Structure 1
């Protein structure tokens, strides 16, 4: 089937197949895909706005025994450079986030074998006791699986106890490519794609929403990318667990995985194809952290309606040598330069504040 017919099919609200997605990946008609993706985005979000959340990443530990080849952030247990943040340091970081109008904390670390399940429960309880207004959008699927392993509890029990302690939402980290050939190549201890999907579906079962992610550039095939999208779409059909989809590109600098860096055009193509294929996920985030602000702006016309988090702190991607740090007022300017109206949202994508023309925040967090 020709690219035009596949795109026409999508515009007619017919579902794409894996074969359709593969054909799109093989095509270089990126602008045409972007136009269709933008049209589909406007069906979900007819108003010319772009949302963002004021949030902070807190990497509470870098000690990890998963040993991903693509990660430049982790330190093996017992090796120099490993850390676990003191609770008071975490509390101070949360307070700083709240002071600039922040609403979300993305807390992630390594799979630290020295931290018992009680550590996470107590930390969440202490955070919520001190900051009941903050949304804890925290812990990747692989961290959750480590808690299951160390606690001896079932996946559902672990997630239920985390929710009771104060966990509000689960990020989609750890998906990478949802196909076991690539997963075994880049991180053989990280678990299968089925485990990732089950974590997300079980999270919804206990009352937690989550996001879905995708990382391209590991040397995966177009078929594996298409299967990733299919598996996300199937899980969403079954449980409606994902509030958003975020894709980005692997950053090979400073890692043990030597592959050719993906071009920005391939990222934009992936954004567009994802929006066209995933007809059941409302929100798509732009990945300006890895791609930079100019491509971030462009992605807002390739299917993205959200600019993600202000990322007041980010250590994992920056450890690989690529991070674009911005402050809140810069994000407002970036959105306006893309011809959009900036709106602050919360983790559930509820709108909190629509910024008027030239309006800025009075207190900004300088990176």
Structure 2
């Protein structure tokens, strides 16, 4: 589909009276859950009437855990002199990806920390090693915050780093590092990380070059409901300009063994996750895909999200380290993913990182027929 056709499709799905900030806040905080879910589900079915829910089979290795940014919500990063600090060689990363591909992975989400000893040539060496070992795997590397850090490392513009990676054949970028797009929040949880405008600028530059990116949100810490709403509108506004976001992916803060977690006296209920998924489907009317994940919360909340506007169920992860370090360990199988999706009334389908379906599975059984065991 060309850009003109995509623009026409987007306009067709946008309401004349689009959700504004005041209505969005009311939906998030006051609307009955059933009403909010029903409205979001209707919007989802209008955009994706085939009742298919997609997932990706991927792996998330980290090339280093060394990071000098020291975000207060992170239990994964280590200082350069920490005895647990590591930096993998390109060959070691390629071996991990090869193992994941042998287990069925089709995509590798590849990230690390802000390591001052890693340079652009190292990034390109990792990409080349993965491609040599697994030429068929889709490489989905580096967050906007990492691109900004690398530009500082190299003393160049972010566009130069992005173009170098694009020239290596990379076409998608994960949207990590957004957290909450509020300067107040970022000063409290990640003062040394990319600020709001920098994160948005990296995404916009990437879109102009030709990348497709995801957009994320990590909530459930020090943010206010108004800041959740503003985050969504900043994403919607950027999507209006570029059309480069493929999907929106929220998850809640995992306190675990983190400095921020030790300071917080509250936890967030899974119902908030479902509300955010539903609100995202209504506000982000120019986004094709909204994800509700079994991994980020739990299977039940993820399944409810499929009835609240989401059309994607995340990934079957062969390897994941960041949330695991915060005490959030979950695993599933291809069969379990299919069962959860079917029990929500949808047909499961495996996708690639461009959200193209690469394999359809059996649809749910009709009512009255024995269900999955």
**TM-score, with normalisation over the residues of structure 1?**
0.92
Residue 323 (str. 1) matches residue 329 (str. 2): yes
From 337, 341, 349, the equivalent of 1:335 is: 341
Structure 1's consecutive aligned runs of 4 or more residues displaced over 3 angstroms after TM superposition are 10-13
- In structure 1, the residue matched to 2:75 is 72
C-alpha contact 1:107 1:136 (8 A) present in aligned 2: yes
Residue 311 (str. 1) matches residue 314 (str. 2): no
* Pair 154,329 (structure 1): closer, same or farther in 2 beyond 3 Å: same
From 209, 218, 221, the equivalent of 2:221 is: 218
- In structure 1, the residue matched to 2:10 is none
- In structure 2, the residue matched to 1:362 is none
- In structure 1, the residue matched to 2:143 is 140
- In structure 2, the residue matched to 1:363 is none
Q: How does 1:62-211 map to 2 (within 5 A)?
A: 62-211=65-214
Aligned residues: 350
Alpha-carbon deviations, 1:188-210, whole Å to 9, x = none? Answer: 00121111111111111111100
- In structure 2, the residue matched to 1:274 is 280
Alpha-carbon deviations, 1:32-73, whole Å to 9, x = none? Answer: 101100100111110121101111111111100000000011
Distance 2:167 2:15 in 1: 43
Alpha-carbon deviations, 1:195-232, whole Å to 9, x = none? Answer: 11111111111111000011111221121111101100
Structure 1, unaligned stretches of length 5 or more? 1-9, 359-367
C-alpha contact 1:345 1:353 (8 A) present in aligned 2: yes
**TM-score, with normalisation over the residues of structure 2?**
0.90
Farther off after superposition, 128-137 or 289-298: 128-137
CA RMSD in angstroms, aligned pairs only: 1.7
Shift of 1:130: 3.2
C-alpha contact 2:94 2:126 (8 A) present in aligned 1: no
C-alpha contact 2:63 2:112 (8 A) present in aligned 1: yes
* Pair 168,132 (structure 1): closer, same or farther in 2 beyond 3 Å: farther
For 1:157, what is the secondary structure of its paired residue?
A: helix
Distance 2:329 2:34 in 1: 26
Residue 20 (str. 1) matches residue 39 (str. 2): no
